[in-house]
Amino acid sequence: MTVEKFSTDFLDAELVTIGEAIHSPPSRLFLIAKRMIDLGFAIMLLPVLGVISVLLLLVNRQFNPGPLFFDQERVGKDQQMFRIVKFRTMAGTCDECRFADTETDRINQVGRFLRRTRIDELPQILNVLIGQMSMVGPRPEQVEFYNLYVAEIPGYALRQHVRPGITGLAQLKYGYTSDVVGTARKLKWDLEYIRRMGFAIEGYIIWQTLLFVFQRLLNQRTRTKL
């Protein structure tokens, strides 16, 4: 994959502040509390994961035959590789790393619902339980794309100083992107999260994520009735 060079002047201030933040990490109390909150949420969501898994097993027989889960290698904290777990939303397989929006033809109605509501991310609570991910943090990237972004975007590797998350500030503020420029702009929010890590921003991100999911579910239900 090749990309055009672009200006990253808008990252300069963020790179300075994140450098300072990395040398002054959050308190040990906060890190312990964050891990306890992660475990609490993950354990609380296990029954939900079980119920949805059973429902999808039944629905998939007709609409999306194949494995229930999809796993893929991602880059985690300190560049450690791990396999992320998601509900499978696409039919067939692909050997190349691609952006999801280039493979819409492989997404069926069930997969589209799971993606719109972000329910496809729910199995990642298993990654949280074993300590590979957190509930909140920068999203884990595919290895090929990670290597590309490190080469093209100044400071991109700094986001690996924390555990990747199921949700994060960049997802709330910027959403999905499938190009290097958009990824660089999302990086601003990842770095801002790391710089401000604390109880206030964790609570804000979790609350906004819950509101987002409920709104998507409500919108989906309204669309179905129409």
**% of the chain with per-residue pLDDT over 90:** 54
Q: What's the total number of domains in the chain?
A: 1
Give a yes or no: residue 154 inside a domain: yes
In this prediction the pTM is 0.83
Distance CA 223, CA 32 (A): 42
**pLDDT, mean of residues 84-97:** 75
Give a yes or no: residue 4 inside a domain: no
- Predicted confidence at residue 3, as pLDDT, reads 43
What is the extent of the structural domain holding 195? Answer: 9-225
Give a yes or no: residue 133 inside a domain: yes
